[in-house]
Amino acid sequence: MKSTVGVIGGGQLARMMIPPAVSLGVIIKVLEEAPGMSAELAATGVGDYHDLDTVLSFAKTVDVITFDHEHVPQHVLHALVEAGVPVHPGPDALLYAQDKLLMRHKITELGLPSPDWAAISNADELGAFLDAHGGRAVVKTARGGYDGKGVRVVDDKNAADDWFTVLAEDGRGGSLIVEELVDFVRELAQQVARRPSGEIAAYPVVETVQKGGVCAEVIAPAPTATDAATGLDGSASTVAEVARDIAVRVAEGVGVTGMLAVELFETRDGRVLVNELAMRPHNSGHWSIDGAVTSQFEQHLRAVLDLPLGSTRPRDAWSVMINVLGGPVGQFMQDRYPAVAGEFPAAKLHSYAKESRPGRKVGHVTVSGARLDDVLADARAAAAFFED
Amino acid sequence: MKSTVGVIGGGQLARMMIPPAVSLGVIIKVLEEAPGMSAELAATGVGDYHDLDTVLSFAKTVDVITFDHEHVPQHVLHALVEAGVPVHPGPDALLYAQDKLLMRHKITELGLPSPDWAAISNADELGAFLDAHGGRAVVKTARGGYDGKGVRVVDDKNAADDWFTVLAEDGRGGSLIVEELVDFVRELAQQVARRPSGEIAAYPVVETVQKGGVCAEVIAPAPTATDAATGLDGSASTVAEVARDIAVRVAEGVGVTGMLAVELFETRDGRVLVNELAMRPHNSGHWSIDGAVTSQFEQHLRAVLDLPLGSTRPRDAWSVMINVLGGPVGQFMQDRYPAVAGEFPAAKLHSYAKESRPGRKVGHVTVSGARLDDVLADARAAAAFFED
């Protein structure tokens, strides 16, 4: 089998691929952006992923290329494919994680449910959309947004003028996306893995709680409190079934290889709508490291190597993952281990080996168990130790 | 906190410390015996652990020293301690894992149950022991044995003459150990972790099945079929309680820091006897990587860093670990993944990245679940794929 996986990008997602690579006996090599990044242990190169020569010479040392992030430019990706390098996910799939406008067109073409949306090029078009949607909407840049960046809630047709100006100066005729402000009861995320040969494995849908546009808390599986939804074929279904069906159709429709996360809104009136796509391991799946038979990181390695996928069975009834954001500046998560580990012997502590600064994701905590109330309380309390 | 752990020895036990080190954000550095060993990814040095200068300069790059094996000479260990390096386990504890004769004296001094045993220096002393024990016994060299080496079942007083000759030529007055051939119903292993500050955490006792003196199969926890034993204080106890009490008393009596494994015999007449000690992660605990909240490798890191210990709770009712011994010469375990992973999506596959040769431990497979019969059958069938 091909057994050296090359990861472009040295962040925490690359870092968290290291443990399953070691367990499976898969060699992992990381091209990091700068020395000393989170995935340093597996770094075999340092360089700019925008530079084709850098990426091509890294690719010569591995059997398959995958990613820590979605920012590698299309021309670099296509050059890799032309050079005969297996790239997973491939450029034609990854495009829909890179460009939110193309994603909305594709989701609509696949017959999957989106919030009302439009491509807009000027303030008047924004104004018309606002008039038709109660005066408020979400405006997004097609490219470059993550963790709440490039996303703006607006109630004034001139509130995105700065972005329109940038697009006009760019001169490539790009548009912004405007979307209805969805009246959701909660946010969900559905992950599936897909191999190049077509096999798909779905994880249980999870509930995600965002704070300031950043994922703060994940409950796996999503509790079934509001568990009635309209299926893709109009049938009565559970929210979990609809979420899984949507993600499977996206994975197949777009030809994703590796992990896919579909961020979803569950609306007050029982609809499940596609919010965003991510084609890599995703923050909403970190619970699976400790909470599922096969973690999303092992699954991603299996998928990009075209190996049979592993069981996605949860190990306990509930797992809750809390991100550790910030903490005292200049400290590391592990500085607090003596206190936290003593109080919470069953909490799984994950540090990304990053120095703390306010709002920075430096690690996460997962607790699993039989009762959701207990699991939630322990996970929150353990994570809180790191942030004050 | 001190957060760089140095591991002497580059074998699979060092390798399996890498995933929890990455998760916890602990830096791990390995001094391997030769380039390209199993723990290569974390190797920062190559050298001979018998050489004091090599070990001392490696120790300067880490906060605490621990081990992949028990072969580092006492004079090297003591020099480390004198140089102010935290060494876990320390030389005074490790001595009892290095020398089986000293171990037997210590176990007896601690009031813990051993098979009948004696130190012997010549064939006549062996003959006298054989006469008193039905004509058969086990002879062991005090040092250098592992995986069935340095152990011999004898029924003739001259059957250890070659070893006596070596001891006589050595001229240091050493002895062999002779032990009664225990009529055991099964072999068990009890693991505990102990921190320098004294906290102890015990894993459930497991059943181990040896083939040719090598651990082949581990069932966690040990089934309770013959579950009546005489406690250390003469009370009626369960086998699990007696096993745990023995290991805790050894850990405290000897001052072990890090993981301790006590290999035990359960006899037909309800006794639990100490067979061997190991002061490091142990083959009988590999199940815990996938089967317990805190794996023995994470626990070892926590213990040697003097961090609070993690929960030893099993994740499922049963876990079965099967060693993969050998397989087609020159292949790697991962060459068989396409077949095995498809048949057994819930099997956790662990490769030590070693080329196969007959009888060599190249990896292991663990399956966890609710029914022991199913778990055993799946684990055995999955492991068998690798060996033909």
Fold of the CATH domain A116-180: Dna Ligase; domain 1 (3.30.1490)
The pLDDT tens digits of the residues spanning B79-94 come to 999 999 999 999 999 9
- Evaluate if residue B10 carries a pLDDT over 90: yes
Model confidence at A237, pLDDT cuts 50, 70, 90, reads confident
Could you tell me which chain B residue has the CA closest to the CA of A340? Answer: B308
Average pLDDT over residues B168-196: 91
More confidently predicted of A326 and A220? A220
Average pLDDT over residues A110-123: 96
CATH number for the domain formed by residue range(s) B184-384: 3.30.470.20
Domain with CATH 3.30.1490.20 in chain B: 116-180
The pLDDT tens digits of the residues spanning A124-151 come to 999 999 999 999 999 999 987 656 678 9
Determine the pLDDT at residue A269.
Answer: 84
How near does any CA of chain B get to the CA of A251, in Å? Answer: 20
Determine the pLDDT at residue A83.
Answer: 97
Domain B4-87 has CATH 3.40.50.300: no
8 Å CB contact between B121 and B127: no
Determine the pLDDT at residue A146.
Answer: 58
- Evaluate if residue B233 carries a pLDDT over 80: no
Q: Which residues of chain A lie closer than 8 angstroms to B368, CB-CB?
A: 293
Could you tell me which chain B residue has the CA closest to the CA of A332? Answer: B25
Which residue from A258, A120, A112 is spatially nearest to A177, judged by alpha carbons?
A120
Q: Which of A222-231, A368-377, B275-284 has the lowest mean pLDDT?
A: A222-231
At position A241, the amino acid (one-letter code) is: E
Interface contact B19-A22, CB threshold 8 A? yes
Identify which of B26, B341, B350 has the shortest CB distance to residue A23: B350
Interface test with A, best of B286, B293, B351 (most A CBs within 10 A): B293
Residue A149 buriedness (CB in 10 A; 0-12 / 13-18 / 19+): exposed
Q: How many CB atoms lie within 10 A of CB B288?
A: 29
Report the relative pairing of strands A200-202 and A348-351 from DSSP bridges. unpaired
Helix axes A91-98, A100-109, angle to 10 degrees: 110
Could you tell me which chain B residue has the CA closest to the CA of A355? Answer: B25
Q: Which residues of chain B lie closer than 8 angstroms to A333, CB-CB?
A: 25
How near does any CA of chain A get to the CA of B367, in Å? Answer: 10
Interface contact A293-B346, CB threshold 8 A? yes
Residue A109 assigned ligand-binding role = no
CA A101, CA A95: separation in Å to the nearest integer? 10
Interface contact A18-B15, CB threshold 8 A? no
Structure tokens at B51: 């050489």
Domain with CATH 3.30.470.20 in chain B: 184-384
Query: Does B26 lie at the interface with A, CB-CB under 8 angstroms?
Result: yes
Identify which of A3, A15, A338 has the shortest CB distance to residue B1: A338
Query: Does A198 lie at the interface with B, CB-CB under 8 angstroms?
Result: no
Domain with CATH 3.40.50.20 in chain B: 4-87
Average pLDDT over residues B182-204: 96
ipTM: 0.94
Cis peptide before B223 (omega within 30 of 0): no
CA B332, CA B328: separation in Å to the nearest integer? 8
- Evaluate if residue A226 carries a pLDDT over 70: no
- Evaluate if residue B265 carries a pLDDT over 90: yes
Q: Which of A214-218, B35-39, B254-258 has the lowest mean pLDDT?
A: A214-218
Determine the pLDDT at residue B173.
Answer: 72
At position B194, the amino acid (one-letter code) is: R
Determine the pLDDT at residue B1.
Answer: 55
